[in-house]
Amino acid sequence: MSITPLQSLCRCQLTTPSTAQSSPRWPTDKVAGGFTFNNATCVAWASRIHQVTLNPEVLNDYTKAFSIVMYKVEHEPFNEHFEMLGRTRYQEYMIITRMKPFKGWEGMDSTLIPQFKEGRREAFIRTLLEAEGVTDYEFKTIVYTSDQQETENAERAFQEQSLEFLRTE
């Protein structure tokens, strides 16, 4: 069975930038600081909040855990922004406590990124996390891509893949 050019073009749309052969410098427009933790920590925390056993290996459980923790973090007493990080969904999360404009790119050397320092706000969040039984986390500063920048990056990736497809035809 042969693949039509249209089918190949559609397949290009599904290819994520992380699987592309070259490693483009995806632009970012902000730098964010806060507490990061992995999926297992998120699921364990959500399990304690709702007093149910959730499994970090089960899709429905870890998507539910994300929603539970997001609701907890984005309301009293935390009142912070909760976000998934990276191009692989449901792997790493951040409670964002600080953000400012910064022109950078994904994967840039952390020594080139202006670093946030923990202050009173982070000390408060730390005490809330520990009271919730969350201990496996790290404060860090990352380059951050807003939704608008993410859309522009996806469009750019599609255009690059389309051009590559047309070159190979």
What confidence tens digit (pLDDT) does each residue in 58-114 have? 989 989 999 999 999 999 999 999 998 877 788 899 999 999 999 998 888 989 999
Nearest of 2, 12, 6, 28 to residue 149 by alpha carbon: 28
pTM: 0.72
Dihedral class, residue 29 (left if φ above 0, else alpha if ψ from -120 to 50, else beta): alpha
What confidence tens digit (pLDDT) does each residue in 136-157 have? 999 999 998 765 556 666 666 7
92, 36 in Cβ contact below 8 A? yes
